[in-house]
Amino acid sequence: MERGENRYRAKEWEQVCEPFQMAPGVYYVGTTYVGSYLLDTGDGLILIDQAFAESVYLILESVRKLGFDPMDIKMLLVSHGHLDHCGGTRLLQEYTKAKVYMSKEDYQMMKEHPEWVYFDYENRIDFEPDAFYDDEHPIKLGSMEIRTVLTPGHTPGTTSFFFDVKDGTGKSFHCGLHGGVGLNTLVPEFYEKWPGWPEDLLEKFKNSLNMLMGETVDITLPSHPNQVPVLDKAGTYKEGQNPFVNPEAWPELLKARLDMADKLA
């Protein structure tokens, strides 16, 4: 890659996707590369992951296309401290005045090793969270109660989210989003390029996956849509006939990543 070339910007510019519903009050507002999720709590909106700075306008446009006002976003949840998930956080924080939540571990990483957050990316826009996750106390807004689970591995403070939604008949669905299942930060080449990267993260990654294996998830929300097929079902959601309900998707995703991690051990 030539110096000054921004491979992320080119990728984001080319990978726009129309927003779509995945569950009662749950909407995909990301691109074809990275997932962002809008949750309608009935008393304000929650946005999980804010993607790249350059794609913030795409998120805002997706929110509007769904009929919502971006100014109703009250909370911004960061799954982990990598630029493709939090590069746009400060812009959305300043625009909406929403409160930002992230893990204490990844905040520390961001302050002490910003190069592990932004890598070779030139558009670094730092932000300050308003609160840290506390796994003992769910995040609550309106009808939504989100349980956070620290799941280190991809980063020291990767956080996963679990919450229930109900349809018009009162049927409940358990939604789950693993904050980061990528092994790209756990391969030898990564450690060589970024000295000081914690050496225990591979073991923590495997422990985290095993811990969540027993979680029963009806609807899996991938942090990247190439992890679980969802884009091919865009626009097909119907109450009582939801193609995103797949209890097998969660254990299949985690088992596949465990198998990959075992090969690195």
- What is the per-residue pLDDT for 54? 87
| Mean pLDDT of the region 182-190 | 96
Reported as a single tens digit per residue, the pLDDT across 21-49 is: 999 999 999 999 999 999 999 999 999 99
Q: Let me know if residue 1 belongs to a domain.
A: no
Q: Let me know if residue 2 belongs to a domain.
A: no
* Count of structural domains, the chain: 1
Q: Let me know if residue 234 belongs to a domain.
A: yes
With a pLDDT cut of 90, the percent of the chain lying above it is: 88
- What is the per-residue pLDDT for 189? 95
Question: Are 139 and 145 a contacting pair, CB within 8 Å?
Answer: yes
Q: Let me know if residue 215 belongs to a domain.
A: yes
Residues 93, 82: Cα–Cα separation, whole Å: 17
Here the CATH number for the domain that contains residue 99 is 3.60.15.10
| Structure letter (DSSP) for residue 50 | -
Q: Let me know if residue 145 belongs to a domain.
A: yes
Mean pLDDT of the chain: 93
Residues 151, 157: Cα–Cα separation, whole Å: 7
Q: Let me know if residue 168 belongs to a domain.
A: yes
H helix runs in the chain, sequence order: 7-14, 56-65, 83-86, 89-96, 104-112, 115-118, 188-193, 201-212, 249-264
Q: Let me know if residue 110 belongs to a domain.
A: yes
Reported as a single tens digit per residue, the pLDDT across 1-16 is: 344 555 555 465 557 8
Check whether 186 has a pLDDT greater than 50.
yes
Reported as a single tens digit per residue, the pLDDT across 54-104 is: 889 999 999 999 999 999 999 999 999 999 999 999 999 999 999 999 999
Residues 84, 252: Cα–Cα separation, whole Å: 24
Q: What is the pTM of this model?
A: 0.94
Q: Let me know if residue 76 belongs to a domain.
A: yes
- What is the per-residue pLDDT for 2? 45
- What is the per-residue pLDDT for 123? 78
**Amino acid letter for position 93:** Q
The residue range of the domain holding 201 is 7-264
